[in-house]
Structure 1
Amino acid sequence: MQEGLTHVRNILNQRRHQKSASGREVMITVDNLKRLCIDHYFVEEIQSAMDVACMDLLHSDDLLDATLSFRLMREAGHDVSADDVLRKFTGDAGEFKLALSKDIRGLLSLHDMSHLSIGGEALLHKAKRFSSKHLASAIRHLEPGLARYVRQSLDHPYHLSLMQYKARHHLSYMQTLPNRDTAAMEELAAAEFQLNKLMHRKEMQEVTRWWVDLGLAQEIPEVRDQVLKWYMWSMTAIQGASFSRHRVEIAKIISLFVVVDDILDVIATTEELSLFTEAVKMWNTTVANSLPSCMRACYMALYTVTNEIADMVEKEHGLNPLNHLRKAWAVLFDGFMLERKWLLAIDQVPTAEEYLRNGVITSGVPLAFAHYFVLLGNNQSNEALSDDIHYVISCAAKIIRLWNDIVSAEDEPHKGLDGSYRDLYLMENPRCSLGDVEAHMRGLIACEWEELNRECFCRRTFSSSFTQACLNLARMTGVMYSYDKEHRLLILEEYTRMLLL
């Protein structure tokens, strides 16, 4: 591993300093490191390389050079204008020049760039339509390896997809290229991949042992017993060997959230839900004794795990976040109570916007990220995490909630009681068809992506680890809700086999 790191570092340094090496070669090397998920080993070298090459290429008349440098610079947080970069590739009418449709590598880069919109960038929307149309048309004329890569890029755009998933496809594509000089990078990526697989297997075993010992799946047959799936959320959102403990603890929180959700959906009466909510707010095991046995077992599990996380944070960072974590659970239960109120009140139907606002809470995303926030050692009194859920969290939550409603969560063994944005929007807009509503919902998802991009690339309110986890959670949505005609999650199955099994 160390030999591979040295070899790749030497290649990158040589290309930075070689007079014969073009800026494009340097940027493609940086891009390959990022796509193979090994860029974290070369942070300083990459920054130095970008300082030298990116600005020169940004104003290039070559489509690949200009769009690649723009994407790398925006991902790194630089203030770059999409219009300034793209205007030279459009004609008098503001449309992209047809001659660009023959430049497949340029179109692929344009397509990647088009998903980095931070709002109000009309040319990026045109770029997405133009590149998607001409890449799809070109597939049947391309050699098989490139055709597969283009199809994969269209189905799973780079920025919207999980980097680990894309890395395997990019590695396979690189290995088909003639006259390649990337063998050292490929070997390092393969070694990194195996190390991560071993680490994730160990984590999964730990989470599975905890889940089996907990016994909730046996005690409460109505709850979903899908601990591998819940760990996948944690595994993909939180990246890096140094965050192994964080992944395990967040997987526990996600599992308990699902148990709570299932109990309240299919078992609990309104009175029992009220008692459960009161017990959570009081945070006292004595109060929990009055709960039905299934709720009491669930309460004791969430009480124990949350207290353990608070103790862990206090030992590592000197601050005890228990009150902050208790509040996160209380807010979740209040959200469930509001859903039950809407369900039972014949004359009180929420608006679609009210439903979505509460759906952010009941998605469980704010709960999980409240725990992750303190595990990172952040002060829970941070003003950015006030009583209102910060938009970097709510964006990911809305994307998950809206996608869940679009596909109707057909992987779940029961029908939930929490309504549907689609149905409520149809009630407010009776002239709309189902297709119109879905288009509207996809538009909302696109807007949330732009807001999430703005936080990731421009504002940077939180640490990169926290923001990246929010981004990865949104990316995971496309894996969790990509059903085929038989309602199977083939991408999730492939992803699980690829990265874990």
Structure 2
Amino acid sequence: MSHLLLEADSIKALVVIDTMQRFGIDHYFEHQITQCLKNQHSQPLLYNNNADDGHLYAVSLRFRLLRQRGFHVPADVFNRFKGENIKFKNALSEDIRGLMALQEASHLCIEDDGDILDEAFLFSTNFLTARLPHLDDFQASMVQNTLHYPHHKSLPRFMTNHYLKHHDLKKDWEKLIANLAIMDFNKMQRIYHEEILQVFKWWKGLLSKELKLARKQPLKWYIWSMATVTDPCLSKQRIELTKPISLVYIVDDIFDVYGTIDELILFTEAINMWEFPETKKLSNYMRMCFKVIHETTHEISNVVYQEYGWNPIDYLKKEWASLCNAFLIEAKWFASGHSPKADEYLKNGVISSGVPMVLTNLFIRFGYGEFVGTTDIEDIISSVATILRLLDDLGTAKDEEQDGKDGSYMEYYMKEQEGGSLSDGRQHVLDKVSLQWKLLNKHCLSPNTIPTSFKTACLNAARLIPMMYTYDDNHRLPVLEEHVKFMFSNIKENLMG
């Protein structure tokens, strides 16, 4: 397999790498891929207008593969495809393959790129959408997949089945990669099944009639860990990460559904002091929840201490306090009828999303204690959290049939606008999501102090968010459920609980 990367002509090697990525097996060939792309990046005639490499498909594919691997490639390589009016040439509209590659490349945009990749996105989207009715079923499926699930913003393991079904495997090397992907999938499926059984066992041990829950979804909670931490060797980390994720959902239910404002104040005080609340002051289910949070947090801290010689308990306690303080602020807004400014709500909502709590847990579990709290780490976590908060609030249906006390960024933003339409408000939110993706890309694609494994985890978390919050009219998550059914074919639990 390696000779396909090192001995093939430049374009074929790029196509092989792209195929490996889409089948989710590129991690087996990290060294060869890096060396191949390093060679590509060092070529003096990298974007020769007179060569086949100057075609839209080749330039777009090379740009995406190099940039996502951390090589510096300026966005102005696409200026060659613009006409005298400084807009992309309409003649490119017939190049379906090139437009799909351009669409894929546009998703690696960072703020420093100016408008070039934003223009590339709009240009490719408009022409691909216009051509859809005129394509055969195979081409139409590929175009729709590109528009709805661009590679950079999708999870390869969730997309492998779709790629197998809708990709025409004609060449021997493609069939070889597909067979390897199937074997890899079968191996990972066995690992995931063993992990989810352990999660179910842990969850069953927590169940108590006194622990009130609006959602009982251990499979859904585990999917966050499974999607975020992809290394086959990190089973323990996936299982352990599912625990704080579960607790964030449970505490969210307590604040949104069950607790009175007086109870929530007492519960938050207990979390801040990190001391068991007095028996007579709190409901039994709240004391039970605090006990589980306390025990689970100390268990994780002990594991980190044993493996890395550093006890992170103070950082984890601080994250729990920040989360509950943010939840309490929202509860007080609701109880008093106060409508915060949209930016005020979003700043607090980034914390109440639970993302800082969960990703800080993961960062510490990875053993990167010396970087906890640094600006780079806080910024990358904030980008993921903002994407989640905005897309969660944008939801096209009520969140999982809860009768909760949630606010919404869009709701507060629209109150500040005079005469603004819902479509304008929705576009404003999507624009803010796009900006956060540019910031996230900059954190993940540029040299900095953030460990690579954590960058990948943050990207994966952001990739999963749309699947977790795209509800249909029946309060279901059809896209996510389809992938989960494929990944966990012998698990009978309803994903939505």
TM-score normalised per structure 2: 0.92
Whether contact under 8 Å (2:308, 2:367) holds in the other structure is yes
Q: Measured at CA, do residues 494 and 315 of structure 1 come closer, stay the same or move farther in structure 2, by a change above 3 Å? A: same
Distance in 2, Cα, partners of 1:380 & 1:343: 39
- Residue 438 of structure 1 corresponds to which residue in structure 2? 426
Q: Measured at CA, do residues 430 and 286 of structure 1 come closer, stay the same or move farther in structure 2, by a change above 3 Å? A: closer
Shift of 1:122: 0.9
**Aligned 1:277-288 pairs, distance under 5 A:** 277-285=268-276, 287=278
* Aligned partner of residue 242 in structure 1, secondary structure: coil
- Residue 378 of structure 2 corresponds to which residue in structure 1? 390
- Residue 161 of structure 1 corresponds to which residue in structure 2? 154
- Residue 4 of structure 1 corresponds to which residue in structure 2? none
1:205 aligns with 2:192: no
Distance in 2, Cα, partners of 1:287 & 1:408: 41
Task: Say how many residue pairs are matched.
Answer: 482
Distance in 2, Cα, partners of 1:399 & 1:194: 32
* Aligned partner of residue 259 in structure 2, secondary structure: coil
- Residue 377 of structure 1 corresponds to which residue in structure 2? 367
- Residue 393 of structure 2 corresponds to which residue in structure 1? 405
Shift of 1:164: 1.5
Distance in 1, Cα, partners of 2:222 & 2:372: 28
Shift of 1:485: 4.1
Distance in 2, Cα, partners of 1:381 & 1:485: 43
Q: Measured at CA, do residues 383 and 366 of structure 1 come closer, stay the same or move farther in structure 2, by a change above 3 Å? A: closer
Whether contact under 8 Å (2:255, 2:331) holds in the other structure is no
1:34 aligns with 2:21: yes
Moved more, 402-411 or 251-260: 402-411
Q: Which amino acid is the alignment partner of residue 384 of structure 2?
A: A
TM-score normalised per structure 1: 0.92
Whether contact under 8 Å (1:234, 1:251) holds in the other structure is yes
Correspondence for 1:215 among 195, 203, 207: 207
Q: Deviations over 1:282-307 (max 9, x none)?
A: 22236467421000111111111111
Q: Measured at CA, do residues 57 and 182 of structure 1 come closer, stay the same or move farther in structure 2, by a change above 3 Å? A: farther
Correspondence for 1:108 among 97, 100, 104: 100
Shift of 1:182: 1.6
* Aligned partner of residue 80 in structure 1, secondary structure: coil
- Residue 235 of structure 2 corresponds to which residue in structure 1? 244
- Residue 139 of structure 2 corresponds to which residue in structure 1? 146
Correspondence for 1:73 among 66, 69, 85: 66
Unpaired runs of 5+ residues, structure 2, are: 490-497
Shift of 1:318: 0.6
Distance in 1, Cα, partners of 2:47 & 2:278: 63
Q: What is the percent sequence identity of the aligned residues?
A: 37
Shift of 1:270: 1.6
1:126 aligns with 2:119: yes
Whether contact under 8 Å (1:75, 1:457) holds in the other structure is yes
Distance in 2, Cα, partners of 1:157 & 1:336: 34
* Aligned partner of residue 182 in structure 1, secondary structure: helix
Distance in 2, Cα, partners of 1:336 & 1:244: 31
**Aligned 1:254-403 pairs, distance under 5 A:** 254-285=245-276, 287=278, 290-346=281-337, 348-379=338-369, 382-384=372-374, 390-403=378-391
Moved more, 178-187 or 97-106: 178-187
Q: Deviations over 1:74-128 (max 9, x none)?
A: 1011111111x10111101111112211112111110100111102431211111
- Residue 88 of structure 1 corresponds to which residue in structure 2? 80
Distance in 1, Cα, partners of 2:398 & 2:228: 23
Whether contact under 8 Å (1:395, 1:448) holds in the other structure is yes
Q: Which amino acid is the alignment partner of residue 99 of structure 2?
A: L
Q: Deviations over 1:168-197 (max 9, x none)?
A: 3223333x2434532211111111111111
Distance in 1, Cα, partners of 2:379 & 2:196: 30
Shift of 1:160: 1.6
Distance in 2, Cα, partners of 1:279 & 1:36: 48
- Residue 494 of structure 2 corresponds to which residue in structure 1? none
**Aligned 1:452-491 pairs, distance under 5 A:** 452-491=440-479
Distance in 2, Cα, partners of 1:100 & 1:316: 55
Shift of 1:203: 0.8
Q: Which amino acid is the alignment partner of residue 401 of structure 2?
A: P
Distance in 1, Cα, partners of 2:423 & 2:178: 44
Correspondence for 1:498 among 469, 474, 486: 486
Unpaired runs of 5+ residues, structure 1, are: 1-7
Q: Measured at CA, do residues 339 and 411 of structure 1 come closer, stay the same or move farther in structure 2, by a change above 3 Å? A: closer
Whether contact under 8 Å (1:146, 1:173) holds in the other structure is no
